[in-house]
Structure 1
Amino acid sequence: MHIRSPRLGLSLLAALALAPLGCKGGAPALAKGEPTDEPPPEVPSPPADGPKLVVLQSGTVVYDRPSTKGKPLGELRAGAQIARSSEPFTRRECPGGWYVVRPRGFVCAGEAATTDPSLAAALPPGPDLSRPLPYRYGRARTEGVPLYTRLPMPAEQAHAEPDLKRYLSRRGALDDEVLGAAADDVPLDPRGVPTGPPVLMPGVLGANDVGRRTVGSFFAFPSPVVPPLAPLAPRVADLEGGVLRKNSGVALAGSFTSSLAPEASEEGRRFGVTPSGHVVAIDRLRPALGTTWHGLDVEKVGLPVAFVHKAGVTAWNLKRGEAEPLEEEELERRTAVPLTGKFRTVNGVRFEQSREGYWVRAQDLVVIVRRTKFPDFAKGDQKWMDVSLANQTLTAYEGQKPVYVTLISSGRDVLKDAAESASTARGTFRVRKKLVTAALDSREVHGDFDVNDAPWVMEFEPGYALTGTYWGDGLGEAQTFHAVALSPVDARRLFHWSGPELPEGWHGVTDAMGEGTTVVVRP
């Protein structure tokens, strides 16, 4: 389908383009407010079916009072529509008015948000919170992939992409490349717990009616978006030089096809639209599907549980003091193995017994054992996460009951001083804020590329966070800088399970909205 600048899209986007950008009196996303002795005003929460505030800029802050000196409660993304009060609470410091939003807090209407519902159609679609990856992701195939601030004209494309003709000539072969399973193909129950192996369902993430998915179909969205004429969020559009380094990742909220390309074919050229409103040529990206691997729900089976930590591991049968390998029972790397807790030593080698009856050498496993001692706070149904840097594992608890176990990737220097090395801080923390997506420090990937729109970010200390990944699969090995990296499935599970709870329609939330879940990071 071609989009040839529909009249409605032009009128709406022209309004956005002409509007000054950057909220007067606004603050950076989730910035720390100045302290004040005055309590925030007590006001009723707007009804869900009331009028909406349309958010124009990603990173728009929700404050606990009608002032930028208030405490940040969370943040909103461009395109969000949040129930608001019918009238502004006050216009002090905000000529457009401070509106009460649902379920709590105040947002300044003006350049970052508007009460005009007609502008909503011109903004990128929001994330899909029901899937392991909230957006579709791509990674730059080459160095210097341009991020356009609007639909580029042919001359602009030719200038920014000197090798454009070559790329257009090989586009067909790139589009026809067949893809495998993605993180979003893993079936989940209502809690976000995986219920089986990944399944390529017809029509899901670009798969056809027989479950075949290609590069071209992956980047084709069910409904095309309106091509932006201007950037929507310059405050957060801080990608250096307006380009993507090779392998850098970016989220796509939608795509459209335009005939405005030099020597374009009859099909035109497809562009993706980022959540912040930038435009990037799809043929410059390769899909980032996210690993389908995930941890194990242990709410019913309990501990101990082990993960196979290397390839080529076999199961064993122990008879009459001898160990016999079961050649046909090879266990893939990172296979979860529930254990009985029984072990035997044969010829100096320790074996752990699986609950299915076979045995595995202890040296081939990472074992998560039952705790004999618990922190004082581990009572009742109190939620907390136990991160072991030595084992590269995470166990989620409710009180003293383990509910989920998985592998992580922590700071690559492991147990060195976190302030002076690539190590994850150790101690007892609480989740301070949660963001559906956020940019990460490129040091998390050795500085090799930029990580934009990382999913399910749970910050527990400034500069340290649990986060989902879409760009790699080093789980079980210490490879990051300060972050605790998780698979997309695991990160989504823990994000929705942990506190503070993300209000409907919000993109981020701080612990000012509720107590954050405790995170214990230990050697």
Structure 2
Amino acid sequence: MRVRGFLLLPTIALSALNVSCPRPASEPAATSPAPAPASAVTAPASAAEPPLAAPSPSLAGPATAADPAGPAAPPGVSAAMDATASATTDPAADLAAPGVDPLALPVLPPQLVDDGSDELPRLDPPPTAPLTPKEEVHELASIARETWIFAEPRWTSRRIGYLRAGAVVARRPEPSGRESCAGGWYRIEPSGYVCIGASATLNIHDLAVEASSRRAIRRFFAQAASPAPSAPRGEAAAPRAELASLDLRGEAAPAAPHARLGALPAAADAAPAALPAAADATPAALPAAPDAAPAALAAAPEAELAAWLNGLPYTYVMSRSPTPPLYARLPSEDEQRAAEPDLGAHLLRAATAARAPDFVAPPPPDATPSVLLYGRPAPGLAGDRRSPDALVLGRARTRSGFALLSTFDHDGRRFGLTTDLTVLPLDRTRVIRPSAFSGLRLAEDVALPVAFAKRRHATRLVPGERGGLTRAPLRFREALPLSGASRRVGGIDHLEARDGSLVRADDVVRVDPLPRAPAWAVRGRKWIDVSINQQSLVAYEGSRPVYVTLVSTGADGLGDPKTTRSTIQGLFRIHTKHVTVTMDGDEEDEDPFDFRDVPFVQYFTEGFAFHAAYWHDEFGTPRSHGCVNLAPLDAAWLFEWTTPEVPAAWHGALSLRKGTLVSIRP
């Protein structure tokens, strides 16, 4: 698996960094695709390539040192960055040698010690909040997939993070310099500098900013960063009593349009009051207090959306076959029939599918995005090359996943606006119902061992009303804190839970405390322990476990990560975090895929990362291409707990020396 179109970290000198879940060495090397929309779609085979419009001078003028055409750096700088990168190696590469027990190391290796090299220079004070409502607010906005944030106001400085299109951040009123940046380098909140030019603008009302204004939901961010989420610009949070008449953005739900084009039945578009409880839901396992959202958050529409998404940052859909066209604008009925020759038969099949028991309805419709009204095309992000007359930008690839900024009705069909600002018909996709599984957050009085039920029809023994023991159901993957004691009942070994119940030892995965904490696990230091054999993850603060869950590591178990789909072993640091990032494989692969906006990605060495998986629900079983897959709720929690921290408006953050330690072992 690779991250498409994402240039990562040349300025902090990681030569071996492949931003992907790795592929076996025998497979063809990944190549960078053409700029979007080619990076997002495959052009229709039957259609001639549309003419490309000249880029807007205000967004992507000629590549000059004063205004580089692209989010990275001006000509000449990239070559220097690459030369610097090639002269160094991954700092944790020699810690991944076979046979190295990361827990037995007496001290941290020098390459993992925080030597202060990641400290940010203090050149300018941060932006200040206005003292009065009438005082001007100074902000800038991202208009690209990646708007890089630099430690200092120059292209050759190291990158410390990036913004995603639609992000608006506070800035200082005046630029801190204009070195190779005609628009000026601005100090932003909470740190770093952004160049105003091809990927960022001072016009926070730019169409690309407006179209991308809905931000990714970070369910656990508010707990760690602020007591309450900020209301939308110029609006107040809606009271919970009013949510029934509001759409998911807090706006009045529009009246349903006149049904045309064989619209789906009403049931297909109606979002359930609540998602049906999944068979593996473990609400009892999660303590209410630690994970409870603040009261102010519960009153906001985002809380309803976060609950519906079950930890995912967006609504996600997967393409069906044949794959959906990706429109540049809302098509008329005639244009839909021309672009989708099978439309009539397809809508009949979609109506039948909507009546299936496992059908997942999309969320309630939003208002049509204003940028799409009156037949206007969706604005392209910086670097996109779209013809103003283009209707179809291409078709989704096989086994594609998309994140949606909004869904809305048009001519009797439901459409979605993707994070790449393309429009796709949702009846050619299936809405993702994310896994309801989550691990167990360990309070001060709850520690390991913890057991997870690994059989779907497991039971446990509880005291009966008339004495003796009786059987009670045990949900699949339900977490049970254990007392540490065991008993034989009927000749079968049972483990005793803290509540006094008994569970068969062969029905559960048991996660035990470590015999002894690593010498380097000093008090308060955060670190993560992953066991490939047990498919478990435990988050520690010093020697105290604070979270335990099940994961999916590489499908090939303990194999060679260079030649098989196995997870690398060793001791590492998380160095790069993305709220979401796209991962894909080559069409020639035996398992081609194109997953947009994979949530809560945390790279720790080469192409290996923790991330949520919205396309499967097999946590506890080896499954991945080499990364460590987590359920969405687990990934969302872990993302906010680890370092480097990703500030509220940022989409990614980078640090070589301050990231959370990661131990991966058999």
Q: TM-score range by the shorter chain?
A: 0.7 to 0.9
CA distance in 2 between counterparts of 1:93 and 1:436 reads 29
Supply the AA of the counterpart residue of 1:138: V
> RCO higher in 1 or 2 (8 Å CA, sep ≥ 6)?
2
Alignment match, 1:226: 371
CA distance in 2 between counterparts of 1:348 and 1:136 reads 49
TM-score of the superposed pair, with normalisation by structure 1: 0.79
Alignment match, 2:617: 473
Equivalent in 103, 116, 121 of residue 210 of structure 2:
121
How much does 1:231 deviate? 2.2
Alignment match, 2:483: 340
* Between 409-418 and 370-379, the greater mean CA deviation after superposition: 370-379
Alignment match, 1:286: 430
Alignment match, 1:496: 640
Supply the AA of the counterpart residue of 2:487: R
Q: Where is the strand percentage greater, Structure 1 or Structure 2?
A: 1
How much does 1:176 deviate? 6.7
Question: Equivalences for 1:25-40 in 2 at 5 Å?
Answer: 26-27=70-71, 33=81
Q: 1:67 to 1:149 in 2, by over 3 A?
A: farther
Secondary structure of 2:649 counterpart: coil
Equivalent in 443, 453, 456 of residue 311 of structure 1:
456
CA distance in 1 between counterparts of 2:518 and 2:357 reads 49
Supply the AA of the counterpart residue of 1:59: E
How much does 1:62 deviate? 0.8
Q: 1:486 to 1:277 in 2, by over 3 A?
A: same
Structure 2 contact 577–652 (Cα < 8 Å) conserved: yes
Supply the AA of the counterpart residue of 2:166: G
Equivalent in 394, 406, 417 of residue 560 of structure 2:
417
CA distance in 1 between counterparts of 2:151 and 2:425 reads 40
Alignment match, 1:371: 514
> Does structure 1 residue 485 correspond to structure 2 residue 659?
no
Question: Equivalences for 1:357-506 in 2 at 5 Å?
Answer: 357-442=500-585, 447-506=591-650
Structure 1 contact 469–488 (Cα < 8 Å) conserved: yes
Secondary structure of 2:546 counterpart: strand
* Between 446-455 and 304-313, the greater mean CA deviation after superposition: 446-455
Structure 2 contact 329–423 (Cα < 8 Å) conserved: yes
Report Cα offsets for 1:278-332 as digits up to 9, x if no partner: 211122221112111111112231111111112222224799xxxx984x42323
Unaligned runs of 5+ in 1: 1-13, 181-213, 260-266
Supply the AA of the counterpart residue of 1:313: A
> Does structure 1 residue 133 correspond to structure 2 residue 312?
yes
How much does 1:482 deviate? 1.1
CA distance in 2 between counterparts of 1:490 and 1:94 reads 41
Q: 1:325 to 1:419 in 2, by over 3 A?
A: farther
Structure 1 contact 413–423 (Cα < 8 Å) conserved: yes
Alignment match, 1:185: none
Secondary structure of 1:363 counterpart: helix
Report Cα offsets for 1:129-151 as digits up to 9, x if no partner: 22311111111122332223344
Structure 1 contact 41–65 (Cα < 8 Å) conserved: no
Supply the AA of the counterpart residue of 1:340: S
CA distance in 1 between counterparts of 2:184 and 2:620 reads 50
Secondary structure of 2:637 counterpart: helix
* Between 430-439 and 93-102, the greater mean CA deviation after superposition: 93-102
Alignment match, 1:89: 176
Structure 1 contact 124–273 (Cα < 8 Å) conserved: no
TM-score of the superposed pair, with normalisation by structure 2: 0.63
Equivalent in 15, 24, 30 of residue 68 of structure 2:
24
Secondary structure of 2:437 counterpart: coil
Secondary structure of 2:328 counterpart: coil
CA distance in 2 between counterparts of 1:219 and 1:225 reads 18
Secondary structure of 1:226 counterpart: helix
Question: Equivalences for 1:247-326 in 2 at 5 Å?
Answer: 247-259=399-411, 267=412, 269-299=413-443, 300-316=445-461, 326=470
Alignment match, 1:243: 395
Equivalent in 215, 222, 231 of residue 361 of structure 2:
215
CA distance in 1 between counterparts of 2:178 and 2:328 reads 32
Question: Equivalences for 1:182-221 in 2 at 5 Å?
Answer: 215-216=361-362, 218=363, 220-221=365-366
CA distance in 1 between counterparts of 2:498 and 2:461 reads 13
Alignment match, 2:261: none
Supply the AA of the counterpart residue of 2:427: D
Report Cα offsets for 1:89-124 as digits up to 9, x if no partner: 222222222221111111111221110122133434
> Does structure 1 residue 43 correspond to structure 2 residue 124?
yes
Query: What is the percentage of aligned positions where both structures have the same residue?
Result: 36
Structure 2 contact 160–653 (Cα < 8 Å) conserved: yes
Report Cα offsets for 1:48-105 as digits up to 9, x if no partner: 4541111111111111122332211111111110111212222222222222111111
How much does 1:377 deviate? 2.2
* Between 421-430 and 99-108, the greater mean CA deviation after superposition: 99-108
CA distance in 1 between counterparts of 2:364 and 2:394 reads 21
Structure 2 contact 143–201 (Cα < 8 Å) conserved: yes
CA distance in 1 between counterparts of 2:385 and 2:581 reads 10
How much does 1:20 deviate? 4.3
Supply the AA of the counterpart residue of 2:549: T
Q: 1:353 to 1:98 in 2, by over 3 A?
A: same
Secondary structure of 2:547 counterpart: strand
Supply the AA of the counterpart residue of 1:121: E
Structure 1 contact 395–405 (Cα < 8 Å) conserved: yes
Supply the AA of the counterpart residue of 2:526: K
* Between 497-506 and 369-378, the greater mean CA deviation after superposition: 369-378
CA distance in 1 between counterparts of 2:122 and 2:546 reads 39
Structure 1 contact 219–282 (Cα < 8 Å) conserved: no
CA distance in 2 between counterparts of 1:173 and 1:316 reads 43
CA distance in 1 between counterparts of 2:590 and 2:518 reads 34
Q: 1:53 to 1:33 in 2, by over 3 A?
A: farther
Structure 1 contact 48–102 (Cα < 8 Å) conserved: no
How much does 1:152 deviate? 4.1
Alignment match, 2:113: none
Q: 1:435 to 1:282 in 2, by over 3 A?
A: same
Secondary structure of 1:78 counterpart: coil
State how many pairs are aligned: 456
Secondary structure of 2:126 counterpart: coil
> Does structure 1 residue 145 correspond to structure 2 residue 327?
no
CA distance in 2 between counterparts of 1:447 and 1:287 reads 21
CA distance in 2 between counterparts of 1:363 and 1:21 reads 61
Secondary structure of 2:217 counterpart: coil
Supply the AA of the counterpart residue of 2:365: A
CA distance in 1 between counterparts of 2:584 and 2:354 reads 31
Q: 1:344 to 1:235 in 2, by over 3 A?
A: farther
CA distance in 1 between counterparts of 2:604 and 2:570 reads 10
CA distance in 2 between counterparts of 1:19 and 1:491 reads 38
Secondary structure of 1:66 counterpart: coil
Alignment match, 1:355: 498
Secondary structure of 1:337 counterpart: strand
Alignment match, 2:224: none
